[in-house]
């Protein structure tokens, strides 16, 4: 699959945009994805989102912890209150210094406080290439299910053919 924007490089990033209840999928190469990401960041900053989620935590806990307001990084001096305002940590030490307040936020955002990695590769995989093929196959299968749900049968047939082609390559 090639990039939808430049039509030159292979698409490695897949975005789904929903605007006015219309779903649009974009398949981008890394260069175009970075440009698109910069546009999205300027439109809606990640730091704004994190700051909003940090603020929301205070509203969820009716007795917002007074300890949180006193937390301060000994290295850069950033307080948890400062983090809630800007949505960014000041240095690497902030993770440890503000850990008590950050863990519930991380759990809300990621569903866990432990980093699991971007994708889990089975030990039987001999190369990153096989993991990439598995990921692409799963993505195509997901898209096939969506196409069937919205009764886009021509698209579904194309996706089915791509899946079969990839599965043949995978067996070789």
Locate 106 and state its tokens. Answer: 């991380």
Architecture of domain 1-44: 2-Layer Sandwich (3.30)
| Residues 6+ positions from 164 with CB-CB distance below 8 Å | none
What average pLDDT does the chain have?
75
CA dihedral 6, 12, 18, 24 (to 10 degrees): 50
Confidence (pTM) = 0.35
Which long-range contacts link 133-139 to residues 24+ away (Cβ below 8 Å)?
133/166, 133/169, 133/170, 134/170, 136/1, 136/166, 137/163, 137/166, 137/167, 137/170, 139/14
Would the pLDDT of 29 be above 80?
yes
Is the pLDDT confidence value at 59 over 50?
Answer: no
Say what the pLDDT of residue 60 is.
Answer: 41
Q: Are the CB atoms for 53 and 59 separated by under 8 Å?
A: no
Q: Where are the domains of the chain?
A: 1-44, 46-110, 124-172
Q: Report pLDDT digits (tens) over 5-16.
A: 899 999 888 777
User: What tens digit of pLDDT does each residue of 112-134 get?
Assistant: 777 666 554 444 445 566 777 88
pLDDT at 83 over 70: yes
pLDDT score for 170:
77
Residue 23 token pair:
């779903």
Report residue 48 as tokens: 């704004």
What is the pLDDT at residue 49?
Answer: 53
Neighbouring residues of 25: CB distance < 8 A, sequence distance ≥ 6: 14, 15, 16, 17, 143
Cβ neighbour number for residue 122 with a 10 Å cutoff:
8
Task: Tell whether the model's pLDDT for residue 73 goes beyond 90.
Answer: yes
pLDDT tens digit string along 138-169? 889 989 888 888 888 898 999 999 999 888 88
- pLDDT of 77 reads 93
Residue 111 is encoded by which pair of tokens? 């569903």
Indicate whether 57 pLDDT > 60. Answer: no
Average pLDDT over residues 68-89: 84
């Amino acid at each position: 699959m090639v990039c939808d924007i430049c039509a030159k490089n292979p698409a490695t990033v897949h975005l789904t945009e929903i605007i006015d209840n219309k779903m649009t999928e974009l398949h981008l190469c890394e260069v175009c994805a970075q440009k698109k990401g910069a546009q999205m960041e300027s439109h809606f900053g990640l730091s704004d989102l994190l700051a909003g989620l940090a603020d929301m935590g205070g509203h969820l806990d009716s007795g917002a912890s007074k300890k949180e307001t006193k937390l301060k990084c000994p290295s850069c001096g950033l307080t948890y209150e400062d983090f809630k305002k800007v949505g960014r940590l000041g240095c690497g030490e902030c993770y440890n210094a503000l850990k008590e307040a950050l863990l519930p936020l991380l759990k809300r955002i990621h569903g866990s406080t432990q980093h699991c990695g971007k994708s889990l590769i089975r030990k039987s995989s001999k190369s990153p290439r096989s993991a990439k093929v598995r990921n692409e196959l799963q993505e195509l299968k997901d898209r096939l299910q969506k196409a069937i749900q919205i009764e886009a049968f021509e698209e579904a047939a194309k996706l089915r053919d791509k899946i079969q082609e990839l599965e043949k390559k995978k067996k070789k």
